[in-house]
Amino acid sequence: MRIIAKKGDEIILSEAECDMEIGENFILFDKNNRGILVQLVEVNFTVNMHPELDQNISYKKLPYGERCLRYKILMEVKKENKKIKLSDWSGWIPANITEIVKIKLQWLLENIRGKPKYPVYLGNTVQRERIVFDAYYFQGITLIIGKKGSGKSHLSKLILKELVKKGCRMIVFDINDEYSSLTAQIEGDRGENVERITRLNPGENLKFNLEYVGMDVIYDVLTGPLRLPEISAIAFRNIWSSLERKNSLKITELVKAVNSENNPYVREALYRRIRQIVETGIFNDDEKEPVLQRLINEINNGGALIVNLKKTDQIARIITVQTILSKLQNMLEKGEPPVWLIAEEAHFYIPKASLEDIVSRIRHIGLYQIYVTNSPQFLPEMIIRQADNLFLFKLVDKRDIEYISPAANLDCETLNYIVKSLPFRRCLVTGELTKNYPLILEISSTKIFESGETRLFLK
């Protein structure tokens, strides 16, 4: 094997005799035991690399159809007394390669990140080597992105179960009913089985009173998706303030007050929209206690609240999510321990402004976030640039790949080579979990009930 071309931090080598797969890591040593740590990002033929290699003398000596391997240079290596020391790449490359060493990924991960304090197992390398990450580095923003059916939700469930085992408290916004079949019991680290999963269906076992939801959430729904005219919106605020002074903030009293409005146009505009809100079924005037605080207390030792949004309409969905987020913020500001949020396809029920607020402010008071999507361009750019971790499955749209590249710490060209070649349940991992070193992970095939699968007649 020899280097036949170099461009920036990439090198192209002639084919090696050993089998190699995309994402595998190697050290290329010279005779002085100095080397570079590289990752295979593309396997191709000389004929397809013609524009890049045409002016290279070594290339012209290769057979027309010979395979070439493209590697990304990631670190520099020095072997001393049989010990390997890693350092940042200085730009040096070996003149001649005398030894090729395939690297075990767990060894590499522990050398660059350290041994995990809170180990979580999510999968293996392409060579079936078990990989353990540190749950400590999930305390931030994590993105799980890939095309439909690539394994995103399976991974997010694995992360949920592993974090719950560590005593973490989770809230899941489940847009596709992916999580409802998770077992209610998750074995803890000490082997104990306890009730860990609570399923919540808005309008059934999850209801709020009007005062708990608050004027801001209702007002945003009225003036947002329900498009209430400005003059009617002013009237609504006056009605709310009046009920609040009388200590009569109930959904039944709100309907009565709206029906008593003198202006017929305002009365009609408000009544139609308030009826839509009432018909969601998520309000209960008899609900007195702080709902979310009670539910959170039930999972204080680790657990998950699964909020099933699949059967709810848009209005119920927005009110439920915005109420939970506003109450979470209040609780965390008062010193409540941190909570993890898993949001599947968040753009369907959280406005862009609210997403940016969650990222810029609420994350710092203890709301750690995991976003799962097959449409990364709907996520605000702020989330992409502030992401702490990225699990990137197969993508084929070049625009999606370009949009997500800031979170990957890789150039678009390299990312394109890797991501388009990923098979089912194999993903690129980078970020705080790996100290920004790109790893290829094959997600564990641990059986988790797939309640979100599309129903089929012909099977």
Provide the residue ranges of all domains of the chain, joining segments of one domain with +.
3-103, 119-202+292-443, 210-278
Q: For residue 279, what are its two tokens?
A: 């018909």
Per the CB < 8 A criterion, the answer to whether 139 and 338 are in contact is yes
CATH of 119-202+292-443, one of 1.10.10.10, 3.40.50.300, 3.40.50.1970, 1.10.3720.10: 3.40.50.300
Residue 411 scores a pLDDT above 70: yes
Strands (E), 403-457: 426-431, 439-443
| Alpha carbon distance 228, 393 (integer Å) | 41
DSSP character for 455? P
Burial (CB < 10 A; 0-12, 13-18, 19+), residue 385, is exposed
Mean pLDDT for the chain overall: 86
Reported as a pLDDT band with limits 50, 70 and 90, residue 140 is very high
Percentage above 70 pLDDT, the chain: 88
Measure Cα distances from 109 to 23, 59, 123, 200, 245 in Å.
14, 35, 14, 38, 60
For residue 21, the model assigns a pLDDT of: 81
pLDDT value at residue 258? 93
DSSP notation for 324-382 = HHHHHHHHHHTTPPPEEEEEETGGGTS-HHHHHHHHHTGGGGTEEEEEEES-GGGS-HH
Residue that has been written with the tokens 């694995």 in this structure: 158
Q: Cα(143)–Cα(384) distance, rounded to whole angstroms? A: 8
Mean pLDDT of 21-29: 88
| Cβ pair 343, 354 in contact under 8 A | no
- The least confident of 50-59, 68-77, 240-249 is 50-59
Q: Which tens digit of pLDDT belongs to each residue from 62-110?
A: 555 567 888 999 999 999 888 889 999 999 999 888 888 888 889 999 9
DSSP, res 17? S
Q: Which two tokens stand for residue 135?
A: 């749950």
Q: How far is CA 168 from CA 116, 178, 199, 368, 393, in A?
A: 17, 20, 17, 11, 25
d(CA 310, CA 321): 13
For residue 304, the SS3 value is: strand
> What torsion do the CA atoms of 26, 127, 155, 357 make, to the nearest 10 degrees?
0
With a pLDDT cut of 90, the percent of the chain lying above it is: 56
Residue partners of 106: CB distance under 8 A and separation at least 6: 129, 130, 131, 132
What pLDDT shows up at residue 65? Answer: 57
CA distance 457 to 459: 6
Structure confidence at residue 418 (pLDDT): 84
- Pairing mode, strands 25-29 and 34-45: antiparallel
Place of tokens 């609780």: 331
Q: Which residues contact 454 (CB under 8 A, 6 or more apart)?
A: none
Query: Does residue 85 sit in helix, strand or coil?
Result: strand
Look at 84-98, 194-208, 224-238, 420-434 and tell me which has the smallest mean pLDDT.
194-208
What would you report as the CA-atom Rg of the chain, rounded to the nearest whole angstrom? 27
CB 345 within 8 A of CB 355: no
Element (H, E) at 390: strand 389-392
Place of tokens 């709310």: 240
Identify the pLDDT of residue 457: 38
Q: Is residue 391 scored above 50 in pLDDT?
A: yes
- Grouping H, G, I as helix, E, B as strand and the rest as coil, residue 166 is coil
Burial class (CB in 10 A: 0-12, 13-18, 19+), 55: exposed
Q: Which residue type sits at 167?
A: G
pLDDT of 133 strictly over 90: yes
State pLDDT tens for residues 361-388: 888 899 999 999 999 999 999 999 999 9
Helix (H) or strand (E) holding 194: strand 193-195
pLDDT digits (tens, 9 = 90+) for 293-343: 889 998 988 999 999 999 899 999 999 999 999 999 999 999 999 999 999
Q: How would DSSP label each residue in 108-164?
A: HHHHHH-S-SSEEEEEE-TT--EEEEEGGGGSSEEEEE-STTSSHHHHHHHHHHHHH
Q: What's the sign of the alpha-carbon dihedral 278, 281, 287, 292?
A: negative
pLDDT band of 56, cuts 50, 70, 90: low
